[in-house]
Chains A and B, each alone.
Chain A
C-alpha cells in the first residue's frame, strides 16, 4: 500500500521553463510534507516543506503547493536550471515528526 505516490518516474524540461513535479498521498492524517533532492552518489538533501495548515510555501525559485481536498502536492521550479537536474522525492509525516513516508521519486532533467 503506497501511501505517497509520484506517478512520473521522469520529467524533461528546457532551461528557463517551469518544472512541475507532482505527488499524491492517501493518508489524511499526514500533516507535514517535504521535498528532497538527490544527486547521483550523494544522500538526499532537504529542499522545501509545507505544513498542512498552509496551501503554499515559497523559497526562491521553489514553490510547493498543497491541495488537501485532492490529497495532492506539487513542486514548481521557476526558472529551471541545468543544476536542478536530480531525483526529487516527496515525503510525508504526521505529528510533524517521526517517520517519513517517501514517494518513488521523479528524475528531473533540465536541458540547456
Chain B
C-alpha cells in the first residue's frame, strides 16, 4: 500500500497562474482533507470531503477549489495563485478519527 500520495512535491508559480495539486489514497477511506502548513500557524484546514461526492469548506478556503473525483482522489486547485498561498500543502485521509497524511507539496508563488 502506498498510503496517501501527493503530486507534485515542489512547484514554483508566478502570481496569477493556476495549478492543481493531486492527492490519492489506496486505503479505501471515506474522508479526505487538504491542509496548509505555515510557520507558527500549525496545520490549517482548507477543504475536506466527508465522503465521495461531497466537499465542504474548512478554516481557510478562500482562493482554492476542490474536486472529489472518486473515492481515491481529492484535488486542490488554485485558480489565480497569490504570494500569500506560498505554503506547504498536505493531503490526508481517514476512516474516522486518526488521519493519515501524504508527504506534502511545497508551493512557492512569486
A residues at B contact (CB < 8 Å): 4, 6, 9, 32, 34, 36, 41-46, 49, 89, 91, 93, 96-100, 102-105
- In the complex, which residues 65-103 of chain B have their Cβ closer than 8 Å to any Cβ of chain A? 90, 92, 94, 96-103
Q: Is the CB of A41 within 8 A of B42?
A: no
Are A45 and B101 in contact, CB atoms less than 8 angstroms apart?
yes
**Closest chain B residue to A5, Cβ basis:** B42
User: Is B25 close to A, CB under 8 A?
Assistant: no
Taking CB atoms, residues of chain B closer than 8 Å to A103 are: 42
Please measure, in the bound complex, the distance between the C-alpha atom of A96 and the C-alpha atom of B4, giving whole angstroms: 21
Chain A contact residues, majority secondary structure: loop
Contact A42 B104 (CB under 8 A): yes
**Residues in chain B within 8 A of chain A (CB atoms):** 4, 31, 33, 35, 40-45, 48, 50, 58, 90, 92, 94, 96-104
Instruction: Judge whether A102 and B42 touch: CB under 8 Å.
Output: yes
Q: Which residues of A contact B103 (CB under 8 A)?
A: 41-43
Chain A neighbourhood of B94, CB < 8 A: 97
| Inter-subunit contact B48/A44 (CB<8 Å) | no
**A99-B90 contact, Cβ under 8 Å, with A43-B4, A44-B101:** no
Query: Do B43 and A97 touch (CB < 8 A)?
Result: no
CA distance in complex: A103, B42 (Å): 6
Known contacts A9-B40, A102-B42: A96-B104 contact under CB 8 Å = no
In the complex, residue of chain A having the shortest beta-carbon distance to the beta carbon of B104: A43
- Which of B40, B43, B94: most chain A CB closer than 10 A? B43
Q: Would you give the shortest CB distance from B66 to chain A, in whole angstroms?
A: 15
Q: Report A-chain residues with C-beta under 8 Å of the C-beta of B33.
A: 99
